[in-house]
Every structure is written in structure tokens, then in C-alpha cells.
Amino acid sequence: MFNSVSRRISLGVLLLMVSTVVATAARAEIQWSDSVEESLSKAIETGKPIMMDFYTDW
């Protein structure tokens, strides 16, 4: 019984650590910008893709 409980606790701690690391890494990579020209030039320099989000309330 103790072995089963310790495995579950270990698995829970491991999952918590992995999800924290993934969330922190994902947050660190996203850099928002309001300037299209600046973003495009930076994307060309770094070779990274960009995501553009458009919104209107017509």
C-alpha cells in the first residue's frame, strides 16, 4: 500500500513540475507588439514566424 501511495505522490509532483516548466517556457517566448513593421523586421532577422490577430466590431 505504501508503495502505491508513494508512486502516486511522485507522479503528481512530477506532473506539476513538468506543467510548470512548460507554462514558464511558453510564457517567456511570446512577445506581443503593436507595430507590424517592427514585428516583420524582427521575424526576418530571427527567422521566427509571427502570428497576426485582427479584430473589428463592424
The answer as to whether 39 is a domain residue is yes
Provide the pLDDT for residue 44.
Answer: 93
The answer as to whether 57 is a domain residue is no
Residue 31: name the closest of 54, 49, 17, 56 by CA.
49
* Cβ contact 40:50 at 8 Å: yes
Domain count, the chain: 1
Q: Which residue has the higher pLDDT, 13 or 3?
A: 13
Binned at pLDDT 50, 70 and 90, residue 54 comes out as confident
- pTM score > 0.85 for this model? no
Distance (Å) of CA 42 to CA 5, 7, 31, 37: 50, 46, 11, 9
- Determine the structural domain holding residue 15 and report its residue range: 2-46
Alpha helices per DSSP H over 1-56: 2-29, 36-46
Other CB atoms within a 10 A radius of the CB of residue 30 amount to 7
